[in-house]
Amino acid sequence: MTLFEKPLSVKNTLLICLLPAGISLMALAWIVHGYLLDRMSREFVEDRLRDEVAFLEHQIRKTNGNVNLLNTGDYFQDVFHHAFAIQTPSKTLVLPDSWQSILTPLLDHSESGAIRVQIHNGSKATSDMLAYRKAFLVNEMPIVVIVSEDFGSLKHSQMELHAWTAVVSIVLILMLVAVIWLGINMAMRPVTKLKSALTRLQDGQIKRIEMQAPEEFDPLVKQLNQLLDSLDQRLEKSRDALANLSHSVKTPIAAVRQILEDTDRPMDRELRKQMANRLDVIDTQLEAEMRRSRFAGPQIGKRADPLKQARDLLWMLGRLYPDKSFELSSSLPEGCQWAIEEHDLNEILGNLLDNAGKWSTSFVELSLEQPEGRPHISVTDDGPGVHEEALANLGKRGLRLDEQTPGHGLGLAIVRDIVDRYSGDISFSSNAQAGLQVRVTF
């Protein structure tokens, strides 16, 4: 079961992903801010209390442990704003007196260092204090010093600052929402333009999509335009094929009809042979155009394995022409794929190898290479070859003799049509053994 029955729009998906993420990160930052603020405040107060304990220790050591000689009372409270307690074997001093009940129990505490204490009165905490305790010896006399500060007022200021941080965070979240919304709308603007272009294309207002697309959408626009070009080419090819077929079969059909409608003319053997020849011409033309109609041309996502198809064809032709040798030479790695529709490649290789097999004396070589990433096919035979003046006419469209008489011309027009659809090149030449060499480059 999917999370959403209907796919969300890109805009809603981005909002659903970005907004909770932004709010969560802002909330996490606010929590971390509160923790760090509390920690920094405590460390700051602890440092001050430690310094004041060190100051008191210094004063006590100057008096050799006689706390009566200390300048305490209002002076110490006014300067440091802290309460303190000093305990000697003979005397315990706590100032101010209101802290007597809080600091006296801490004098008997076993550990030195920072101590945080909350004093409760009923169900409500009335005091949150931080104290620093230190025990030391002066002339073999144990002395304990505690300096304390009411942490409540500082914590109140800290909470007020934290609350203002929350307000600022909410404002930033609202600004973040606005920025995300604006960014998404700006980022989706090319999609809106593309949608408008597709609508105008459908209405026939434009023939191709022409727009300045960002790099993420540029391949999509190019592929759409290539698809439109391919559809136009196929339509043109279909129209040409129908026109050629109509022109080619019209005369033979008219001749056969004329013979069949002439009831006074006897149907002798010669006449039957003529009619059979006419029907053979029609059948050949129909077969040729049917084969052309099956050609796909460049197709996105369609690929062929040239080595596998070549080996299959060579195996089949080797049994069709058992007295001739068919060889394959290639530097392509196993599993190499060419961006050619499988049936189209099969037609090219099949026609070239079949022609070479018919006219070769004993040897046919198929070469498959890919120099600079361009697929290259070469078929060479050791047959009689073709005259130089006839090479330029091989595979030309409209030379029906090439498709009716066995030889190098059989199927070459079809091969040329397929190569043209892939914007490739086909060339013919006589090799050193007086045979024919056909080279196809895509």
Neighbouring-strand partners of residue 130: 116, 149
User: Per DSSP, which regions of 312-401 are E strands?
Assistant: 325-330, 363-369, 376-381
- Distance (Å, whole) CA 295 – CA 241: 12
394, two tokens? 């091989």
Neighbouring-strand partners of residue 127: 119
From residue 2, how far is each of 6, 11, 15, 16, 27 by CA, in Å?
Answer: 9, 20, 20, 17, 30
Residue 123 has pLDDT above 90, yes or no: no
Lowest mean pLDDT among 180-189, 194-203, 247-256, 390-399: 390-399
- Distance (Å, whole) CA 37 – CA 29: 12
pLDDT band of residue 245 (cuts 50, 70, 90) is low
pLDDT band of residue 406 (cuts 50, 70, 90) is very low
> Which pLDDT belongs to residue 125?
44
- Whether the CB-CB separation of 339 and 374 falls below 8 Å is answered with no
Residue 77 has pLDDT above 70, yes or no: no
Q: Which residues of 143-162 are buried (b: 16+ CB within 10 A; e: fewer)?
A: bbbbbbbbbbebbeebeeee
Lowest mean pLDDT among 78-82, 89-93, 209-213, 374-378: 78-82
Q: Which residues of 190-212 are buried (b: 16+ CB within 10 A; e: fewer)?
A: beeebeebeeeeeeeeeeebeee
The position carrying tokens 């998906």 is 13
Q: Give residue-wise pLDDT tens across range 13-31.
A: 777 777 788 788 888 888 8
CA-CA-CA-CA torsion sign (359, 362, 368, 374) = negative
Residue 113 has pLDDT above 50, yes or no: yes
> Which pLDDT belongs to residue 367?
93
CA-CA-CA-CA torsion sign (294, 298, 299, 305) = positive
Q: Give residue-wise pLDDT tens across range 230-243.
A: 777 777 777 676 76
Strand ranges of the sheet holding 325-330, from the earlier edge strand across to the other edge = 325-330, 363-369, 376-381, 436-441, 425-430
Q: Is 322 exposed, middle or buried (0-12, 13-18, 19+ CB in 10 A)?
A: exposed
368, two tokens? 């498959």
- Whether the CB-CB separation of 326 and 340 falls below 8 Å is answered with no
> Which pLDDT belongs to residue 32?
87
- Whether the CB-CB separation of 76 and 91 falls below 8 Å is answered with no
Question: How many other C-beta atoms can be found within 10 angstroms of the C-beta atom of residue 258?
Answer: 10
Return the DSSP state at 305: -
- Residues of the chain with pLDDT > 70, as a percent, come to 79
- Distance (Å, whole) CA 246 – CA 240: 10
Maximum mean pLDDT: which of 69-73, 121-125, 126-130: 126-130
Closest by CA position to 409, among listed 400, 419, 422, 418: 400
DSSP, collapsed to helix, strand or coil, labels residue 217 as coil
DSSP, collapsed to helix, strand or coil, labels residue 201 as helix
- Distance (Å, whole) CA 155 – CA 127: 11
Q: Give residue-wise pLDDT tens across range 155-171.
A: 777 788 888 888 888 88
Beta strand 376-381 with 436-441: parallel, antiparallel or unpaired?
antiparallel
> Which pLDDT belongs to residue 365?
92
Query: Which stretches of 207-326 are DSSP H helices?
Result: 218-261, 269-293, 306-320
Q: CA 170, 172, 173, 179: dihedral to nearest 10 degrees? A: 150
